[in-house]
Amino acid sequence: MFNLDRKLIISASVAAAVAVFSGCMSGNAEPKGESTVNGKPTIDGGVYYPVVNDKTGPYYVNPQVAIDAKKIYNGRVPTANELKAWDKDLMPDGTGYPEGEGSVEDGEALYEAQCVMCHGDFGSGGGGYPALAKGNGYELKKTLTNNRYKNADGDGPVRVFGSYWPKVSTLWWYIQDGMPHPMSKTLTVDETYALTAYILNINEIEYEGEPIDEEFVLDREKMMKIVLPNNDGFIPNIDGPTGPDDVRAFYADPNNFGAKKVNPAERCMKDCLEPTAKVTYIAGAGISEFLPPMATERSLPKTEESNGGAKKHYEEACMMCHADTSMGAPAVGDAKAWAAVTAKGMDAVYHNGINGINGMPPKGGSDLSDADFKSVVDYMISQSK
């Protein structure tokens, strides 16, 4: 049931987001440019959306969504078969996994076609999407104990599939049920084995002591045999017949998860744990070198175009005389010549250039505006220092 609930929650939140959006568009609450609408205060000059069934604070929500989020499946009740497709138990011991197979080679082709745009070349990540590999999983596993709190300048743990995940089967399930986002459930069983094989390959994982190479073909049986580097890194051990008891014993002792019950004998819903977890705040923790963002300004640096394309104008209208001294003009790059020119003061220089002087035709014969002409002069001087 875990998968089912997860999907339903995702669908419901997407539906809610759509509802908010269509609420904006449907004219239910047009912006009025007032600080209050219908007597209610607006937020940041925004629009007040009426509260429906007291369910969603200031946002207007499609009442059909709010009635029962669990009924939403692309806006309708899922059919019995749809429920069945999501409702499955896939266990690390192989229970629930279908037979099938796929090669690293096929997986690579599928990856290039359906995954690389988000997860990057060889699973390198980037663009806000998670990396699926960062090199050799066995080596990277060693980084998991790197502690940023004790060693602020050191590297933190690298958590990718190869270094962190305990079971290959979880990867298979994740890909089959969740990827390629947002077209989940479009991969066949064999394609899922192939993609899993490819991701094992780029994480440099071994099968029976041998590196998983391009020729490797993964099937259900082999998948269960592969032991990932961090297989034993998780507590409690949820595998096997003692799994449920392990979990119970683990949570019975608050020391295992860094929290002590105020009153261990009592059932409790509020303020149950002693505040044992250590929280570090930036102020007061002795971190003095915390730097605020460099600037709150979001504008991009000036480009050639935004200063009128001075370089381009120079090349088109001035270079034929100003590249060297052969035309009797001060050459761009000749600091001494330009120092003599600018010694007159820039007002005079602009004036002479715009109106012409000696061998210098007005504006060099160009039809630049005064402002653009001046920016070309500035450009030429900046190149002559």
Q: Position 342: which residue type?
A: T
The yes or no reply on residue 361 touching ligand HEC (CB under 6 A) is: yes
Measured from the CB atom, the residue of 222 and 363 that comes closer to ligand HEC is: 363
- Residue closest to ligand HEC (Cβ): 364
Q: How far is the CB of 251 from ligand HEC (least distance, A)?
A: 24
Question: Given the rule CB under 6 A, which of 9-17, 94-102, 204-212, 371-379 is the region that contacts ligand HEC?
Answer: 371-379
Closest separation between CB of residue 376 and ligand HEC, Å? 4
- CA dist., res. 266 & res. 329, Å (int): 93
Q: Hey, what amino acid is at 16?
A: A
**Would you count residue 364 as binding ligand HEC (CB under 6 A)?**
yes
Selected range binding ligand HEC among 5-13, 23-31, 129-137, 289-297, rule: CB under 6 A: 129-137
Taking the C-alpha atoms of residue 180 and residue 223, their distance in angstroms, rounded to an integer, is: 21
Total number of residues shown for the chain: 385
Sequence-separated (6 or more) residues with CB below 8 Å from residue 292: none
Tell which residue, 94, 91, 96, 89, has the closest CA to residue 223.
94
Q: How many residues bind ligand HEC (CB under 6 A)?
A: 45
User: Mask 154-193, x = binds ligand HEC (CB under 6 A)?
Assistant: ------xx---------x--xx---xxx------------
Interface with ligand HEC in residues 303-342 (CB under 6 A): 317-318, 320-322, 327-330, 341
Amino acid at 255: N
Letter string b/e over residues 195-208, b meaning 16 or more CB atoms within 10 A of that residue's CB: bbbbbbbbbbbebe
**Chain positions contacting ligand HEC, by CB under 6 A:** 114-115, 117-119, 129-130, 132, 160-161, 171, 174-175, 179-181, 195, 317-318, 320-322, 327-330, 341, 344, 348-349, 352-353, 357-361, 363-366, 368, 373, 376-377
